[in-house]
Structure 1
Amino acid sequence: MEQEHLARAGLYGLLGPRWVEIEVTALENNLREVKKILRPFTRLLAVVKADAYGAGAVEAARVFCQAGADYLGVTTLAEGVELRRQGITIPILVMSPLLPEEIPQALAWGLTLAVASRWGAEAVAQAVRETGRLARIHLKIESGMYRAGLEPEEVKALIRDILSWPGVVVEGAYTHLAQAAHSRKAWEQFRLFFRVCQELEEEGLKIPLKHIANSYACLAYPEMHLDMVRVGTLLYGHYPAGTIHQEIKLQDPWKVKARLLHIREVPAGTAVGYGGDYVTKRATRLGVLPLGYADGLGLTAITRPKSWPDLLRFLAKTFLAYWGWQHREEAVLVRGRPVPIIGRVGMQLSLVDLGDIPAQEGEEVEISLGRPFTSARLPRLYLREGEPYLLRLPTGEWRGLKDKAGFRAR
């Protein structure tokens, strides 16, 4: 029925053979669920970095703003500028330090800056003098992540200088939990951060926004909520591993869809795909999927095993994959039934074993694709209660499809 609706709406001609569907009511639900567990004065920063974890930063930001987000968080200057150009007006924190040549543009677009070193602070002050614009900054305090941040012992001396610089306003201070799931280490970081903030306030610096809690800490450590929380994972429908989450009910907004390009029958013993790596064990039907590793299919993060059990799990997965085990992130649903991807994943085309499922060419299938790896060049189709209203094309163009529930088609 959904496929018939899409065909009637004439969307297939715009979508092409593969796309991502984002149900915005799920995004709204997730933000409201998180806000339910916050104290009334605690603000919520919605993290929309990395194209909103694949959901599309511009529309996700609009939805979060309308649902009650107080702040947005991005990593790069380009991410912040994109949101401003699309009319997003609420505060946006660029959470990574910027290079000196980027700062004037950030100030011109009214972005809030992270300061993680004296060098960075002096670059902000210089940009303020040159442009005459106000700079709102958040001090990034090093507490155990060791990626970017001011060492606690250097903060006092720096803050005396910052307080003397006209046009530089310290709006907040924050730190980044390195091991949020490790309770002892997380609380060590919290205590260090809180001590530094107290010392700064003793120096006469009022810090309106102190923040440390990410998605995990937001659920596990309510005492860390402070003035603001920075939430990403939860908003996109994922519970961080190891959290207890009875208090909030998240919804998954994400589906990757594709249409089968071609179907053929092959006998048992057929070598399939590049290198003939896979040989069919029985007569079956093969479907061509218009997705490959260029789209994120089959890609996984490479991490160093942290322990012997970790190493054994990794080796077991490799052994099982050799014998045809299907990783859950590479599952394909055809008429509600899972089918395996077989042979080597191609750059933009791959094969699935349809078995006895009577699928047809042009039929929709659903793919469980790892979100961090899903290509931004796949179209994003936005739906409200299952009704498409907006499309972001691979070119970055927007197509408004209909007005619904107060959303203005663009």
Structure 2
Amino acid sequence: MICVERPTYVEIDLNALRHNFALAAERAGGAGRILAVVKADAYGHGATQVARALRRQGVHWFGTALLEEARELREAGLNDPILVLGGVFPGQEESFAALNLTPCIFDLEAARRLNAAGGASGRSISCHLKIDTGMGRVGFLPEDLPEVLKQLRELEHLHFKGVLSHLALADDPSSSHNEEQMARFHAVLDTLHEYDLHPRHVHIDNSAALYSDLMPECTLVRPGVTLYGGYPSGHFAHLDLQPVMHWRTVVAAIKTLPAGRGVSYGHRFVTERPTRIATLPVGYADGYNRRLTGCGEVLIGGRRAPVVGTVCMDWTMVDVTDLPEVGVGALVTLLGCDGDDCIRAEEWAERIGTINYEVFCQVSKRVPRVYKE
């Protein structure tokens, strides 16, 4: 029995997380090569609990986007290396040194500030060098690398232990852009060696690349969405990934409306027959996307019921006319599995025109997470 104060909650299946991790570790050649990406609160799954579970599986590297996310892990007692992918903003340098965090470096001014903080604290700060091989976002351009390296080598309190890049089209394994980025990354490694720099950690593979064998010589790989049971794209739907997030609620009220009666704001749904409407205590403030109006479905007792009427801030209505056994208090699955059926994040994403990553991340903090072993 799972007990929470609110009848709307997210159940995080840690067994499924371990299953997905085992697949990644097998592909990577061992748990020690995994840098688990737990940014954005582990894609909405709860970074602290997820990191602790993965730590028990042998993960020793974690990736966050922000200093604040890394601080949360440190305060929870996680002392393993944390790579902060989002870099160092002015004023954060002392915290990076004090918390022993590893930042990505992709601009010289930030490197100089960080070097000064390292000197003031009397310690060297480990960094990973970010290279833009074709993402067009952040990172030093390969053609600028010789001059960049000359300046970085003058910063005696920075210790460059890693080099990384990021793939823009890895979710499409057939794209020639992947090979172009890999070729640029290989050239970057050659340039580093020319400057007698031999970083211990080399990584470019994300979830999609890990399952595409794009660059097996990487010393680290960075799975994210696949750890949580999401496919990087439809090309990877054959993978045996188990959903980790199961979003539940209950039926709060039921009423039968006559034909011709409108439901919810704007009366975007009007009954065509006597209709049993079940109201659920969940809405877009919880992350149940308003665009699921008229196209979403939920699972009740393993059977599907359509969302009808406009999704509200705190309420959602479904049609249970064809499910006469459903009563007040019945368990409802919004996302995840119930019985033999499962509503995956990919299904939501297709219905509302987004990606599964956003589906996971949209689940509001006001929805409690419950961790199931």
User: Do Structure 1 and Structure 2 share a fold, with TM-score over 0.5?
Assistant: yes
Say if 2:327 is the partner of 1:336: no
Report how far residue 206 of structure 1 moved: 1.6
User: Which residue number in structure 2 is paired with residue 278 of structure 1?
Assistant: 269
Report how far residue 224 of structure 1 moved: 4.0
Q: Deviations over 1:46-66 (max 9, x none)?
A: 000111111111000111111
SS at match of 2:254: strand
SS at match of 1:381: strand
Structure 1 residues 52-91: aligned runs within 5 Å? 52-91=42-81
Given that 1:213 and 1:225 are in contact with CA atoms closer than 8 Å, whether structure 2 keeps it comes out as: no
Give the letter aligned to residue 256 of structure 2: E
Aligned match of 2:187 in 170, 189, 195? 195
Aligned match of 1:290 in 261, 266, 281? 281
SS at match of 1:268: coil
Report how far residue 156 of structure 1 moved: 2.1
User: Which residue number in structure 1 is paired with residue 345 of structure 2?
Assistant: none
Alpha-carbon distance in 2 for matches of 1:68, 1:187:
31
The alignment of Structure 1 onto Structure 2 pairs a total of residues equal to 348
Say if 2:330 is the partner of 1:363: yes
SS at match of 1:106: helix
Alpha-carbon distance in 1 for matches of 2:140, 2:47:
29
Given that 2:205 and 2:215 are in contact with CA atoms closer than 8 Å, whether structure 1 keeps it comes out as: no
SS at match of 2:227: helix
Structure 1 residues 13-92: aligned runs within 5 Å? 14-39=4-29, 43-92=33-82
Say if 2:228 is the partner of 1:236: yes
Name the stretch that deviates more: 282-291 or 365-374.
365-374
Give the letter aligned to residue 269 of structure 1: G
User: Which residue number in structure 1 is paired with residue 219 of structure 2?
Assistant: 227
User: Which residue number in structure 2 is paired with residue 217 of structure 1?
Assistant: 209
Q: Which runs of 5+ in 2 are unaligned?
A: 336-347, 349-358
Report how far residue 222 of structure 1 moved: 4.7
Say if 2:244 is the partner of 1:253: yes
Give the letter aligned to residue 123 of structure 1: R
Alpha-carbon distance in 1 for matches of 2:30, 2:10:
35
Alpha-carbon distance in 2 for matches of 1:271, 1:244:
41
User: Which residue number in structure 1 is paired with residue 351 of structure 2?
Assistant: none
Structure 1 residues 356-395: aligned runs within 5 Å? 356-357=322-323, 358-368=325-335, 370-384=359-373
SS at match of 2:11: strand
Name the stretch that deviates more: 103-112 or 124-133.
124-133
Given that 1:136 and 1:170 are in contact with CA atoms closer than 8 Å, whether structure 2 keeps it comes out as: yes
Alpha-carbon distance in 2 for matches of 1:242, 1:190:
22
Q: Deviations over 1:152-174 (max 9, x none)?
A: 12222222333332221101000
Identity of aligned residues (%): 34
Q: Which runs of 5+ in 1 are unaligned?
A: 301-320, 385-410
Report how far residue 42 of structure 1 moved: 6.7
